[in-house]
């Protein structure tokens, strides 16, 4: 049973972020749920979390989100960097504004949120940073240059935070899931089905699970459970690590 803490989770309107909010609330933590989609309010409030609307591609919005957690709850103990988007195009055609948006949201925002959260964690001698990376932080696939670059960068940020935080009671870890059943993936399944003229089930089996030993999509709650462990008192010796939840994808 872990001590009640204050958590800030990003990208909480759907998918993994919503599952993380539910899991941390069930563990008795207070949660600020941050998303740019106002629909996130209902999702957050259903779990007893506080919603904060912010577009995390904006630096001031990152600072503002941490300030809101400190104002509401007086401290910040757990930061879960989860907000993310995808754009698929070959490098030759990859839109530069999409590259910038993805790097801003998925690499710069986690850095700025970590920076803003750090003083409160340091003062309390206890902090947990959990970065939702991806199997695409370990390996690449064609067409996802910005996403894969941001996720690989996130591993570097995680390792650096772990080294700097070690003496201050702050841990940092990354999670590397393969395909999780969320709206982000549902959209990709639909796109690929159109692109290849396939049934959606064929896309899942032949494209998404091609490299998987366990032939099914991951449930968001499975990712949330590991976040819960990494954010707990019990995980104090675990830091700087990348945790694959990848159906065995990178085992080969």
Active site residues: 147
Minimum distance from residue 168 beta carbon to ligand NAD (Å): 26
Q: Which is nearer to ligand NAD, 51 or 73 (CB)?
A: 51
Beta strands in 58-126 (DSSP E): 78-81
Q: Does 55 bind ligand NAD (CB under 6 A)?
A: yes
Q: Does 37 bind ligand NAD (CB under 6 A)?
A: yes
Among 3, 22, 1, which residue's Cα sits nearest to residue 227?
22
Among 180, 204, 212, 231, binds ligand NAD (CB under 6 A): 180
Judged by CB under 6 A, the number of residues near ligand NAD is 27
Among 8, 132, 227, 235, binds ligand NAD (CB under 6 A): 132
What are the strands of the beta sheet with 242-245, ordered from one edge? Answer: 50-53, 30-35, 6-10, 78-81, 127-132, 170-177, 242-245
At residue 160, φ and ψ (nearest 5 deg) are -65, -45
Q: Does 204 bind ligand NAD (CB under 6 A)?
A: no
Minimum distance from residue 174 beta carbon to ligand NAD (Å): 10
Q: Does 179 bind ligand NAD (CB under 6 A)?
A: yes
Q: How much of the chain is helix, strand and coil, in % rounded to 5?
A: 55, 15, 30
Q: What is the largest CA-CA distance in the chain?
A: 56
């Amino acid at each position: 049973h872990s001590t009640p803490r204050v958590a800030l989770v990003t990208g909480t309107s759907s998918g993994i972020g919503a599952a993380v909010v539910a899991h941390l609330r069930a563990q008795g933590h207070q949660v600020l749920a941050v998303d740019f989609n106002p629909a996130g309010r209902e999702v957050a409030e259903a779990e007893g979390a506080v919603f904060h609307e912010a577009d995390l591609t904006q630096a001031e919005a990152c600072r503002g989100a941490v300030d809101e957690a400190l104002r509401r709850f007086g401290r910040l103990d757990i930061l879960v960097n989860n907000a993310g988007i995808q754009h698929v195009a070959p490098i030759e055609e990859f839109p530069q504004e999409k590259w910038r948006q993805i790097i801003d949201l998925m690499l710069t925002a986690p850095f700025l949120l970590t920076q803003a959260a750090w003083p409160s964690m340091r003062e309390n001698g206890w902090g947990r940073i959990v970065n939702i990376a991806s199997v695409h932080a370990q390996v690449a696939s064609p067409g996802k240059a910005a996403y894969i670059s941001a996720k690989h960068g996130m591993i570097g940020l995680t390792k650096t935070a772990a080294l700097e935080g070690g003496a201050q009671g702050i841990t940092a870890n990354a999670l590397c899931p393969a395909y999780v059943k969320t709206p982000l993936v549902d959209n990709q399944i639909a796109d690929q089905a159109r692109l290849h003229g396939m049934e959606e089930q064929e896309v899942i089996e032949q494209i998404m699970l091609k490299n998987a030993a366990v032939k099914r999509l991951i449930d968001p709650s499975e990712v949330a459970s590991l976040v819960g462990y990494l954010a707990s008192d019990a995980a104090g010796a675990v830091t700087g690590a990348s945790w694959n939840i990848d159906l065995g994808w990178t085992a080969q």
